[in-house]
Structure formats: structure tokens, C-alpha cells
């Protein structure tokens, strides 16, 4: 099996289940035009995240890593009329593109983008003692996933879902002696999650237009 076949199958699946959409397609086009890296989730993955958020009736969503706001739009569309999504982004250029994309998608009233390093903005959120989140998507720098997971856990309600992207990394996750900070970050997170009694967790390998990777899915125990 090749990446080309995975990509063709992804197109087939997305064509059926996540078909063309002006706001989402426009967000991708604006991101490409602004020179952002094409490292957003695939359309069928965005739909997967949206279905999970809808399935648990999420009213408050937190995203760590906005890029151009592609996954943010998928997730914000899972929210009820009074729902809210906070997305955290460190790069001002990415934040500017995302903010424009939210406006074009008609979602500015539901989405708040906080600019800054996620460790800082997460600490800010904790200090504000807002209502807990129902759904948290972790998709920023991989070396800091353990810290983001710890923060996410303390910001979520029992029954919340936490999804972590890119936990397989083309299979490199099994390289126990890797000195790559991304691999070290993912492995440290996996070990932390496996030990953590407040969550039930698994990870699923994925292939497709984004190559070979995977999601971790964590349910915060009631
Ligand atoms: N979730 C997005 C999507 O699927 O459409 C993709 C996010 S992209 C994989 C990762 C983003 O995290 C980038 O925009 C990057 O600038 C941001 N990022 C990296 N390190 C960060 C940090 N320390 N704090 C906040 N954001 C960070």
C-alpha cells in the first residue's frame, strides 16, 4: 500500500462524507495563499472531530494549535447556538489568517483565539477559573504534549473527551531511544496517559492524505 492510494481513498471518503464547503475550502485557500504550512487535519478527520464533539454534546471546546483555523471551523460547527470555542495559537501570522477565516465562516461570535505560547495561555485559562471544557483538541508543538495534556485534564469536566493528534509519527513512536524532541514528547505523553487513573485512553493509527500517523482519544472518567 502506498501513500498515493491512501490519498485517493481519503479523497473518496471525504468526497462522500465531508464534501466541498465554501467556508472550509475558503479557509484552506486563504491559508495556502498566506504561505501557511498544509499541516491541518484532513477533511474526513475534521468531520471525525466534529462528530465526536457532537456525540458528547460539547458546549465548550478548547483547541491547542489553530494554524489557519481549519479544524477550529469543523469543531465550532459542532457547538449549539450558545456554545463557545477557545483556540490557542503562538504564531501571529497564523492567528491573523485564522481570525479572518472565522469571520468568513460566520463563526466569530463563537470562537475566541488567544495569541501566545500555549503554556502561557493555558495558565491564563486556569487562573480565570472558567467553566470546564467538554472537548479538548491538542494539536500544537509535539514536545509539549505532556504539559498540554496535564493542563487539559485540569481544565476538563468528568466525561470530557481529549483528543491528541500526531501520536504515531510515521511509526517513529516506537523508537525508545530517539533524541527527537517530538518523539520524546509523544512517548512521554503516552506513558503519562497510560499511568493516569483519571482517564480511559487508547490510540488509533491513521493513514491517508496526511500520511501515517494517529490520534490518542482520552475520556475523562466520571
Ligand atoms: N489544528 C490545526 C488544524 O488541523 O487545522 C493545525 C494546527 S498545526 C498542526 C499546529 C499549530 O500550533 C501551528 O499553527 C503552530 O504555530 C502552533 N503552535 C506551535 N507551537 C505552539 C505553542 N507553543 N503554543 C501555541 N501554538 C503553537
Residue of 29, 85, 89 to mutate, ligand 1, most atoms within 8 A of C-beta: 89
Burial readout 19-45 (b: 16 or more C-beta within 10 A, e: otherwise): eeeebbeebbebbeeeebeeebbbbbb
pLDDT, tens digit, 9 for 90 and up, residues 27-77 = 999 999 999 999 999 999 999 999 999 999 999 999 999 999 999 999 999
Residue 106, domain CATH = 3.40.50.150
CB-ligand 1 contact for 139 (6 Å cutoff): yes
Residue with the larger pLDDT of the pair 129 and 50: 50
With beta carbons less than 8 A apart as the criterion, state whether 158 and 220 touch.
yes
In which band, very low, low, confident or very high, does the pLDDT at 2 lie, cut at 50, 70 and 90?
confident
Domain total of the chain: 1
Q: How many A from CA of 141 to the centre of ligand 1?
A: 6
CA–CA dist 209, 4 (Å, integer): 8
Backbone phi and psi for residue 132, each to the nearest 5 degrees, phi listed first:
-65, 160
CB-ligand 1 contact for 39 (6 Å cutoff): yes
C-alpha cell at 219: 475520556
In which band, very low, low, confident or very high, does the pLDDT at 1 lie, cut at 50, 70 and 90?
low
pLDDT, tens digit, 9 for 90 and up, residues 9-31 = 999 999 999 998 999 999 999 99
pLDDT, tens digit, 9 for 90 and up, residues 143-164 = 999 999 999 999 999 999 999 9
With beta carbons less than 8 A apart as the criterion, state whether 82 and 134 touch.
no
CA–CA dist 55, 52 (Å, integer): 5
Residue of 67, 72, 120 to mutate, ligand 1, most atoms within 8 A of C-beta: 67
Does this complex have an ipTM over 0.90?
yes
Which residue segment(s) compose the domain that 92 sits in? 3-220
CA–CA dist 152, 179 (Å, integer): 26
Is the pTM above the cut of 0.90? yes
CA-nearest residue, atom 11 of ligand 1? 65
C-alpha cell at 177: 531511544
What distance separates the 2 farthest-apart alpha carbons in the chain?
49
With beta carbons less than 8 A apart as the criterion, state whether 76 and 106 touch.
no
Give me the pLDDT at residue 129, please: 87
CB-ligand 1 contact for 70 (6 Å cutoff): yes
- Each as own residue / partner, the long-range contacts of residues 13-16 (CB below 8 Å, 24 or more positions apart, any chain) are 13/44, 14/42, 14/43, 14/44, 14/47
pLDDT, tens digit, 9 for 90 and up, residues 177-218 = 999 999 999 999 999 999 999 999 999 999 999 999 999 999
Amino acid at each position: 500500500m502506498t501513500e498515493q492510494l491512501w490519498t485517493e481513498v481519503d479523497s473518496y471518503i471525504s468526497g462522500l462524507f465531508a464534501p466541498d464547503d465554501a467556508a472550509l475550502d475558503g479557509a484552506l485557500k486563504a491559508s495556502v495563499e498566506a504561505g501557511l504550512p498544509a499541516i491541518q487535519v484532513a477533511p474526513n478527520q475534521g468531520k471525525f472531530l466534529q462528530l465526536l464533539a457532537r456525540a458528547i454534546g460539547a458546549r465548550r471546546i478548547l483547541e491547542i494549535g489553530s494554524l489557519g483555523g481549519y479544524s477550529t471551523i469543523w469543531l465550532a460547527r459542532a457547538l449549539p447556538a450558545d456554545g463557545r470555542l477557545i483556540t490557542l495559537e503562538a504564531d501571529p501570522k497564523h492567528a491573523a489568517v485564522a481570525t479572518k477565516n472565522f469571520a468568513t465562516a460566520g463563526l466569530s461570535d463563537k470562537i475566541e483565539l488567544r495569541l501566545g505560547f500555549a503554556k502561557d495561555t493555558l495558565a491564563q485559562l486556569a487562573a480565570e477559573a472558567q467553566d470546564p471544557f467538554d472537548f479538548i483538541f491538542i494539536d500544537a508543538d509535539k514536545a509539549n504534549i505532556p504539559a498540554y495534556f496535564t493542563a487539559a485534564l485540569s481544565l476538563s469536566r468528568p466525561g470530557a473527551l481529549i483528543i491528541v493528534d500526531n501520536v504515531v509519527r510515521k511509526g517513529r513512536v516506537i523508537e525508545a531511544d530517539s533524541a527527537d524532541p517530538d518523539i520524546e514528547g509523544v512517548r512521554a505523553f503516552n506513558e503519562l496517559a497510560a499511568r493516569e487513573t483519571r482517564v480511559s485512553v487508547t490510540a488509533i493509527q491513521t493513514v491517508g492524505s496526511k500520511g501515517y500517523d494517529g490520534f490518542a482519544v482520552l475520556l475523562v472518567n466520571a
